[in-house]
């Protein structure tokens, strides 16, 4: 990948203020560029793979995030103890906390990301809306700032028309968000969203926004030099979501392929905002686009995005490398990179595929697909534990191909090759109750609307078949084929799916044929 380096020099250490797959991914680029790495870990992550991926590692507290990964003083102390020069926040945790940026600067550390002022300006949803209004960028109708109470929220809702969204001013990721379809629902929704926002961000402020029906969530990857210069690296469509959280991301956007003029206008708007706030490093401007080609500003994420690999696929750019080299003053400012082909990413979660509720616990074995055009960003390589204390994402699986249909085919094959099993006792009996959304993802990439690019944010809601799973017995022919194949291999391996109640359990199939 293109890393934008100018000369090879001795690098100073980077503390990675995160965990799991993103910490491992950052460490990989650090190694490639020669930056020594420092990991931090909570008690729950003492034996995690991200700890092993770094040159040094420091314990920073108990499992609860506020005692560890959100504890600014302990993170800074670990950086100082390890001799760090740079701090890379990844995403989540402290990545969008302006006070953490200031704490790093006070300690003599270089924060790999935007300034505290840029973060406050665009990370706060209300200030961001004020900024885009001044710049003439269209935004979704609604309250400009936070509303004082449910009565005021109702006034705005009646003005713009139901349905509306109540949204947390201090954060994103679907936390503190409620859809409201009528006046009678608003008060209870307001109370629920306020509680959730307080719990997630320590701030219960909410604003009201018109709900655009059948919208597409399209975002623009930007990169700024911190002085007013900025480029974009194309768009990503992230419309397929559950519980207001993304589960599928791709580039280019199927919708924007139909509206190239809208795409160009979104690029222009994104660069106008990025330049105006003198943004430094990788950031993302998020927009809502409807099926008529109109678009509205949604928010800016002042950090690296979970879905950045799809942009890296089509541009050949290592975004983490660009972040690091900009931070140490070595980045040769790039032109807008050419984009080639199509890339799609899905998120593998430890969750019940029927209702998307988290299902944390131990993973006895996980195997990912291999291939020149398939990428797996995982929290652990063979086995590990999905902690109840953190996000239940296990991995991201992505694929690239010259066009979208070929990328879909490659992703389908890759997901069919993913293997996730529960832990086993010494005698081979599986234990635990591991559930993942892998069956859902396999269905999703074969869904007719996905194949056609009809991926508005209501896709999952209007497709109940995606979350219907039954242990339907396979055909007699399939039973014989699988069982005979296993017999010919003369193996007594356990099922490719660790659930013994699964009708495709190979051991059960062999026994059925023998009897």
Which is nearest to 270 in space by CA: 293, 301, 244, 245?
A: 301
Catalytic residue among 303, 404, 422, 510: 303
Instruction: Take residue 339 and report the two structure tokens written for it.
Output: 């984009």
Cα dihedral 91→175→309→351 (10° resolution): 110
- Cβ count near 471 (within 10 Å): 11
Which is nearest to 320 in space by CA: 6, 31, 58, 12?
A: 31
User: Strand order in 248-251's β-sheet?
Assistant: 295-301, 280-289, 216-225, 230-237, 248-251, 342-349, 393-401, 374-378
Q: CA-CA distance, 25 to 285, in Å (whole number)?
A: 23
Q: What are phi and psi of 23, to 5 degrees?
A: -65, -40
Instruction: Take residue 395 and report the two structure tokens written for it.
Output: 């991995």
SS3 call for 220:
strand
Residue 3 Cα distances to 13, 30, 32, 91, 305, angstroms: 18, 11, 10, 20, 18
The helix, strand and coil proportions of the chain, stated in percent and rounded to the nearest 5, come to 35, 25, 40
Which is nearest to 375 in space by CA: 348, 338, 352, 350?
A: 348
Cβ-based burial of 333 (10 A; exposed 0-12, middle 13-18, buried ≥19): exposed
Catalytic status, residue 347: no
Residues known to be catalytic = 303
């Amino acid at each position: 990948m293109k890393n934008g380096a100018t000369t090879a020099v001795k690098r100073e250490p980077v503390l990675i203020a995160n965990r799991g797959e993103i910490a491992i991914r950052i460490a990989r680029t650090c190694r490639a560029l020669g930056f020594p790495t420092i990991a931090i870990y909570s008690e729950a992550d003492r034996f995690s793979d991200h700890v092993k991926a770094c040159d040094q590692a420091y314990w920073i507290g108990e499992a609860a995030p506020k005692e560890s990964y959100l504890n600014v003083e302990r993170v800074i102390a670990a950086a100082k103890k390890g001799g760090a020069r740079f701090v890379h926040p990844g995403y989540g945790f402290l990545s969008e906390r302006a006070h953490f940026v200031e704490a790093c600067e006070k300690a003599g550390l270089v924060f790999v990301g935007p300034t505290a002022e840029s973060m406050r300006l665009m990370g706060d949803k209300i200030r961001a809306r004020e900024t885009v209004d001044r710049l003439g960028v269209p935004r979704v109708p609604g309250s400009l700032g936070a509303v004082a109470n449910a009565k005021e929220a109702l006034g705005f809702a009646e003005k713009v028309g139901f349905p509306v969204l109540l949204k947390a001013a201090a954060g994103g990721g679907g936390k503190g968000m409620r859809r409201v379809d009528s006046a009678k629902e608003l008060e209870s929704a307001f109370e629920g969203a306020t509680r959730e926002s307080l719990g997630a961000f320590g701030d219960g402020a909410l604003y009201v926004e018109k709900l655009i029906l059948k919208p597409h969530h399209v975002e623009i990857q930007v990169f700024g030099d911190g002085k007013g210069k900025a480029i974009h690296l194309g768009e990503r469509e992230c419309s397929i979501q559950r519980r207001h959280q993304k589960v599928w991301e791709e580039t280019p956007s199927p919708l924007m392929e139909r509206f190239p003029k809208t795409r160009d206008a979104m690029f222009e708007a994104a660069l106008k905002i990025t330049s105006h706030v003198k943004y430094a490093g990788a950031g993302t401007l998020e927009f809502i686009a409807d099926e008529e080609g109109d678009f509205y500003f949604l928010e800016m994420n002042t950090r690296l995005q979970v879905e950045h690999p799809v942009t890296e696929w089509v541009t050949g750019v290592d975004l983490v490398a660009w972040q690091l080299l900009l931070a140490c003053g070595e980045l040769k400012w790039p032109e807008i990179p050419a984009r080639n082909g199509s890339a799609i990413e899905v998120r593998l979660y430890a969750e019940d595929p029927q209702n998307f509720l988290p299902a944390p616990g131990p993973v006895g074995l996980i195997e990912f697909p291999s291939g020149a055009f398939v990428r797996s960003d995982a929290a652990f390589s063979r086995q590990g534990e999905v902690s109840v204390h953190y996000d239940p994402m296990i991995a991201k699986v992505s694929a690239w191909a010259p066009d979208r249909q070929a990328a879909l085919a490659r992703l389908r094959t890759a997901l069919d090759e993913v293997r996730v099993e529960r832990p086993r006792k010494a005698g081979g009996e599986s234990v635990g109750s591991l559930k993942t959304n892998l069956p859902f993802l396999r269905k999703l990439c074969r869904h007719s609307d996905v194949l056609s690019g009809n991926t508005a944010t209501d896709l999952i809601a209007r497709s109940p078949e995606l979350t219907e799973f039954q242990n339907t017995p396979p055909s007699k022919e399939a039973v014989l084929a699988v069982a005979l194949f296993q017999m010919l291999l003369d193996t007594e391996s356990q099922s490719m799916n660790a659930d013994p109640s699964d009708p495709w359990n190979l051991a059960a199939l062999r026994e059925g044929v023998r009897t």
